Structure 1
Amino acid sequence: MAKHLHPRNPTREVIEGNPPNDSHLNAHRILTVAFASAAVAGAAACASLQPDPERGFVSIFNGKDFEGWSGPVDNYEVVQGAIVCKKGKGGTIYTKEEYADFIVRLEFKVPSGGNNGLAIRYPGSGDTAYVGMCEVQVLDDNYDKVRGKLDPRQVHGSAYGMAGAKRGFQKPNGEWNEQEVTVKGSTIKVVLNGEVILDTDLAKIDPGTFMAKSKHPGLTRTKGHFGFAGHSDPVAFRNVRIKRL
């Protein structure tokens, strides 16, 4: 029986009288393409089912001005898309809207010895650390080395004067940190650069153990404004967004 080479594939021998079955090859190619397409479509479908981590979050700072904010806004400025407390100035600026339970995400950076705070359920006037639910401290991790001794309930991430946070997870001065604060009922959770540094129920803390035995009349507030409590240092905040729970 004679043999010759396949005209499109010189390396493939063809037995005379038995031509190659190209239809089988084409069918194989079609199935391969079909399976590949199905795999890609399946992967895309799975990806679309993954929850969006930013779903439900709304920006509360437009990166340009203080639209939507109240308080001593003249003591702050917008620098390269960030809210910055002017050096030597301060006071609490806060959202015009009020929030009950929520998650706030933001980025911040502090100068050496920098001090600020997050006003939680703030009523709009008074000392944020006492009249609101609490003030979440925003502070240089090396503050005590630069300016003096700190109580453990004054370090960064603490519910000021009531519950101390873990230290050692802040980035060097001048670098942006990512922080998330969850407020639900009387509980508060602070995540700094992916690390949980505070997770507590303020209602379960004995008031007799508060720093300097100070009273916190706003502790039981269930609603209020969110804001920044400046203390004369150019601490900066950007990408501020909030989600109601």
Structure 2
Amino acid sequence: MKTFSKTIMMPLVLVLFFSLNSCGENKKKANEDNQEESKEMKEASTTSANNELSEKEKEDGWKLLFDGESTDGWRGYGKDDFPDRGWVVENGTLKLNGSGAGEAGGAGDIIYDGQFKDFELSLEWKISEGGNSGILYLAQEIEGQPIWKSAPEMQILDNEKHPDAKLGKDGNRKAGSLYDLIPADPQNAKPAGEWNTVSIMVYRGTVVHSMNGENVVEYHLWTDDWKNMIAESKFAGWEDFINAGGEDHKGYIGLQDHGDDVWFRNIKIKEL
């Protein structure tokens, strides 16, 4: 009888074990499926909220510079119209299809057709592998002169693959930096293909670059420190750069064509 009981019980135990194990695997798979579905829903929700202002932002005085559907408000630097090639609206982003030729032979830089003095600019960008671009501010539109000769630049870069990351001094050509002048510290840019959230605050000459939730650059325009820093840089002697913003201390917001694919979204500004 004892032997018979063991003989009967062992298959029952095995059946019970595999049944419970199967249930556990099914439950685990269901949880993973639910998490994936939740992630997809969250991403869809985030995407649908792009290029819109919340009620709070509207109350606080924010203005949307890109609606995700058109190029309204934007034009080529030194031109009356928006470029007819290169720059496009794609999947809710303002995208540059790069020429692959650096700054030569591309569509050219674009500016928002309005000048700003004291402001906070906020946007998101992502760069292609090995790519380079920039956000320019307080730019003057001077005939026969490129935008970068009068405008400070917040660098956009694939720090891993673009050679600019190894040039300049102390990383001052890496993403988030005041290009070729002050390195972003901490250096917290995300890899190529991932979105970075940045802001540039200008207030009575004080400028702060923020990237992915951290302040990474701070400096003060038109001061002796500013002039001395310029005198020891590639911008030495460039009066329009030294006097960024011109006599009225205001200028255009620009997005750079450096020949590489780059995407922008959620571009908004608040005048201070």
TM-score normalised by L of structure 2: 0.64
Q: Return 5+ residue gaps in structure 2 as ranges.
A: 1-54, 77-81, 100-105
Larger radius of gyration: 1
CA distance in 1, matches of 2:125, 2:254: 13
Letter in 2 for 1:186: G
Contact 2:164 2:173 in 1 (8 A): no
2:241 pairs with one of 218, 237, 240:
218
Counterpart position of 2:20: none
Q: Which residue of 1 aligns with 2:125?
A: 108
**Equivalent residue, structure 1, for 2:90:** 79
Task: Go from structure 1 to structure 2 and tell me whether the alpha carbon gap of 1:191 and 1:79 turns closer, same or farther (over 3 Å shift).
Answer: same
Question: For 2:141, which of 117, 120, 124 is the aligned residue?
Answer: 124
What CA distance in whole angstroms lies between the structure 2 residues aligned with 1:147 and 1:92? 19
Q: Does residue 219 of structure 2 align to residue 208 of structure 1? A: no
Q: Identify the residue that residue 45 of structure 1 maps to in structure 2.
A: none
Conserved 8 A contact 1:128-1:135? no
CA distance in 1, matches of 2:179, 2:165: 17
- Given the superposition, is the C-alpha separation of residues 155 and 90 from structure 1 closer, same or farther in structure 2, using an over 3 Å criterion? farther
Partner of residue 69, structure 2: 64
Of the three residues 223, 227, 232, the one matched with 2:259 is 232
The alignment's TM-score, normalised by the length of structure 1, stands at 0.71
- Within 5 A, what are the aligned runs for 1:94-243? 94-125=111-142, 126-132=145-151, 134-144=152-162, 149-151=166-168, 152-166=171-185, 168-203=187-222, 204-205=225-226, 206=228, 207-211=230-234, 213=236, 215=238, 217-220=240-243, 221=245, 222-243=249-270
Distance 1:157 1:120, change over 3 A: same
Deviations 1:172-220 (A, max 9, x none): 2211111111012322111110111111113323132223746352332
**Aligned amino acid, residue 120 of structure 1:** Y
Q: CA deviation at 1:129?
A: 2.4
Asked whether the equivalents of residues 176 and 187 of structure 2 are also in contact (C-alpha less than 8 Å), the reply is: no
Select the structure that is richer in strand: 1
Q: Which runs of no fewer than 5 residues in structure 1 stay unpaired?
A: 1-50
Contact 1:123 1:224 in 2 (8 A): yes
Superposed displacement of residue 101, structure 1: 1.0
How many residues are aligned here? Answer: 193
* Residue identity matched to 1:73: P
Larger deviation: 168-177 or 232-241? 168-177
Partner Cα separation in structure 1 for residue 204 and residue 154 of structure 2: 16
Aligned-partner Cα distance in 2 for 1:195–1:243: 19
Change (3 A) 1:53 1:69: closer
Name the SS of the counterpart of 1:218 in structure 2: helix
What amino acid does structure 1 have at the position aligned with 2:148?
Answer: A
Report if the CA contact (8 A) 1:90-1:229 is conserved: no
